[in-house]
Amino acid sequence: MTRVIAGSAGGRRLAVPPGTGTRPTSERAREGLFSTWQALLGTLDGIRIADLYAGSGAVGLEALSRGAVHALLVEADAKAVRTVRDNVRALGLPGAEVRTGKAEQIVTGPAPAEPYDVVFLDPPYAVTDDDLGEILLTLRAQGWLSGDALVTVERSTRGGEFSWPKGFEPLRARRYGEGTFWYGRAAATCEDAR
pLDDT at position 177 is 86
Q: Using 50, 70 and 90 to split pLDDT, how confident is the model at 148?
A: confident
Question: For residue 119, what is the domain's CATH number?
Answer: 3.40.50.150
pLDDT at position 173 is 97
Q: Could you report the per-residue pLDDT of 70-125, keeping only the tens digit for each?
A: 999 999 999 999 999 999 999 999 999 999 999 999 999 999 999 999 999 999 87
pLDDT at position 39 is 96
Q: Using 50, 70 and 90 to split pLDDT, how confident is the model at 126?
A: confident
**In which domain, by residue range, is 170 found?**
2-18+26-193
**pTM of the predicted structure, to 2 decimals:** 0.93
Average pLDDT over residues 41-59: 97
- DSSP assignment of the chain equals -EE--SSTTTT-EE---SSSS--PPPHHHHHHHHHHHHHHHS--TT-EEEESS-TTSHHHHHHHHTT-SEEEEEE--HHHHHHHHHHHHHH--TTEEEEES-HHHHTTSPPPSS-EEEEEE---TTS-HHHHHHHHHHHHHTT-EEEEEEEEEEEEGGG----PPTTEEEEEEEEETTEEEEEEEE-SSTGGG-
pLDDT at position 25 is 76
Q: Using 50, 70 and 90 to split pLDDT, how confident is the model at 23?
A: low
Q: Using 50, 70 and 90 to split pLDDT, how confident is the model at 193?
A: very low
Average pLDDT along the chain: 92
Count of domains observed in the chain = 1
